[in-house]
Homo-oligomer: A and B are copies of this chain.
Amino acid sequence: MTDQRIRDSFANQGLMTTLGATLSHVAAGEVHISAPLQAATSQQHGAGHAGLTFALADTAAGYAALTLMEAGREVMTVEAKINLMAPAIGEVLIARGKVIRAGRRLTVVQAEVFAIKGDTETCIAILQGTMIPVDPA
């Protein structure tokens, strides 16, 4: 799975465009995605919404899984669980997804999400989930 295929797939995700997200790192078994913290993706107190945090973590973890799947496959989330540990406050969120175990039928993944405020990076969430290869539509 080349970087380009991950980048092409990412570019087709309308939600990622809406969230202002960018693919900041793609390597075998590891993908990072960043997005600005802004009013358009906030919860009621102005911090980043849990839905934003989850979307970035899930997408980073899913593409990390895809890097290790056979060429021509696509990836879908079976399930994911996120613990939100601190409010998403700062300028930018970055989600770092990685593969824990790439099995024949399923891939187990984790992601961490960090809020960057000036020079400080705070881990605000961790995700653990399961990805599955699917045939392209």
Q: A residues bordering B, Cβ < 8 Å?
A: 9-10, 12-19, 38-45, 49-52, 54-56, 58-59, 62, 74, 76-87, 100-101, 103, 105-106, 108, 110, 123, 126, 128, 130, 132, 136-137
- Give the interface SS of chain A, mostly helix, strand, loop or mixed: mixed
Chain B residues, Cβ within 8 Å of A42? 13-15
CA distance A51 to B15 in the complex (A): 8
A103 adjacent to B85 (CB under 8 Å): yes
Contacts A40-B15, A81-B80, A83-B78 hold; do A128 and B130 have CB atoms under 8 A apart? no
A49 adjacent to B130 (CB under 8 Å): no
A78 adjacent to B106 (CB under 8 Å): yes
Chain B residues, Cβ within 8 Å of A15? 40-43, 49, 51-52
